[in-house]
């Protein structure tokens, strides 16, 4: 039975499952963390592969009954392990225990947790070397969007990762079928930019995309002050945007991650945005 109350739809299509596993590009010595093991549709083939390729699998399952069933069916498999708990707590704890060692992340997660999960990953000191998630197709398209169709979600995720859709999943691949279409999203980490702290970047993203129909000039003008709380003249903001090669009439959806980083840089000294203080 599907845990509809948890927003869970279980994968049943073997072709989709193999596509997900293939997107992980697993090798000997890897460590894999699966979020939301459910009935084991992904867990069992991964567990069999872990024995063959000699990597470690850890599968998180919140439901006590399902976790017990998974443990029984895995039997004597010494490379696969079940973690009983909520993925929202299990992921950061698992990352802390790895002490800086990278791991591979995979999961068919409840769709309502997608945004929260992206935030959890963004906060990890060391990002998974590959993340593969089955999520709502519309959300996957938003995550992978580029200028001139950028959005708050794509700008946030692209700060730490390079997302791509590696496959589409029909509604009939799940039990019960969801009301929305799904996609397989793979994210590979990108190097940190030492010029800006993550907190400052995400704060600026929230400000710029809070009113995406406004121009960048108006978004900045309404949200910035000098350190002494004085307002910043329009002409000064225009000059600083021009120094970033950004036209004042541009809108948030026109910005790349590098554009946002550059804006944060030029307003770093002597200014503060709302939320800085």
In the chain, where the domains are located: 4-189, 198-273
Output the pLDDT for position 89: 97
d(CA 45, CA 64): 21
Say how far apart CA 261 and CA 192 lie, in whole Å: 11
DSSP-based three-state secondary structure for 260: helix
- Smallest CA-to-CA distance from 236 within 227, 226, 228, 250 is with 226
Sign of CA dihedral 96, 205, 133, 72: positive
Structure tokens at 118: 């992206």
d(C-alpha 194, C-alpha 84), whole Å: 37
The pLDDT profile of the chain, 277 residues, written as one tens digit per residue, is 344 444 578 999 999 999 999 999 999 999 999 999 999 999 999 999 999 999 999 999 999 999 999 999 998 899 999 999 999 999 999 999 998 899 999 999 889 999 999 999 999 999 999 999 999 999 999 999 999 999 999 999 999 999 999 999 999 999 999 999 999 999 999 987 777 889 889 999 999 998 988 999 998 988 998 888 889 999 999 999 999 999 878 999 999 999 999 999 999 888 888 766 4
List pLDDT tens digits, range 99-132: 889 999 999 988 999 999 999 999 999 999 999 9
Instruction: Please tell me the predicted confidence (pLDDT) of residue 43.
Output: 98
* CA separation for the pair 136, 266 (Å, rounded): 37
Question: Exposure of 174 by Cβ count < 10 A (0-12 exposed, 13-18 middle, 19+ buried)?
Answer: buried
User: Which of 1.10.8.100, 3.20.10.10, 3.90.79.10, 3.40.630.10 would CATH assign to domain 198-273?
Assistant: 1.10.8.100
Identify the CA nearest to 83 among candidates 104, 102, 61: 61
How confident is the model at residue 1, as a pLDDT? 37
State how far the Cα of 102 lies from the Cα of 32, in Å rounded to an integer.
10
Check residue 76 and give its pLDDT.
86
- Token pair of 64 as six digits: 């006590």
CA nearest neighbour of 217 among 245, 233, 238, 236: 238
Phi, psi of 81 (to 5 degrees): -140, 145
Fold of 4-189: Rossmann fold (3.40.50)
Query: What is the reported pTM?
Result: 0.92
| CA nearest to 257, candidates 161, 130, 123 | 161
Can you tell me the distance from the alpha carbon of 202 to that of 196, in angstroms, rounded to the nearest whole number?
A: 10
d(CA 268, CA 48) in angstroms, rounded, equals 52
The pLDDT value given to residue 7: 58
| pLDDT at residue 8, rounded to an integer | 73
Q: What whole-number distance in Å separates Cα of residue 20 and Cα of residue 216?
A: 39
């Amino acid at each position: 039975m599907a845990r509809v109350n948890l927003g869970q739809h279980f994968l049943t299509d073997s072709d989709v499952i193999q596509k997900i596993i293939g997107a992980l590009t697993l090798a000997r010595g890897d460590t894999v963390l699966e979020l939301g093991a459910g009935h084991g549709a992904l867990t069992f083939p991964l567990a069999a592969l872990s024995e063959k390729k000699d990597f470690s699998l850890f599968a998180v399952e919140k439901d006590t009954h399902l976790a017990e069933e998974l443990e029984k069916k895995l039997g004597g498999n010494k490379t696969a392990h079940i973690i009983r708990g909520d993925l929202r707590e299990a992921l950061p704890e698992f990352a802390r225990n790895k002490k800086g060692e990278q791991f591979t992340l995979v999961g068919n997660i409840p769709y309502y947790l997608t945004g929260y999960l992206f935030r959890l990953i963004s906060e990890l000191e060391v990002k998974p070397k590959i993340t593969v998630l089955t999520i709502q197709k519309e959300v996957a398209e938003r995550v992978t969007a580029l200028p001139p169709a950028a959005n708050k979600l794509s700008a946030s995720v692209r700060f730490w990762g390079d997302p791509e859709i590696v496959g589409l999943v029909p509604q009939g691949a799940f039990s019960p079928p969801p009301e929305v279409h799904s996609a397989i999203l793979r994210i590979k980490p990108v190097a940190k930019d030492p010029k800006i702290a993550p907190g400052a970047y995400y704060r600026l993203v929230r400000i710029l995309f809070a009113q995406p129909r406004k121009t960048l000039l108006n978004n900045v003008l309404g949200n910035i002050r000098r350190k002494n709380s004085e307002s910043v003249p329009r002409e000064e903001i225009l000059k600083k945007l021009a120094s970033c090669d950004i036209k004042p009439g541009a809108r948030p959806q026109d910005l790349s991650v590098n554009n946002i980083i550059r804006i944060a840089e030029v307003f770093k000294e002597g200014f503060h945005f709302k939320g800085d203080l």
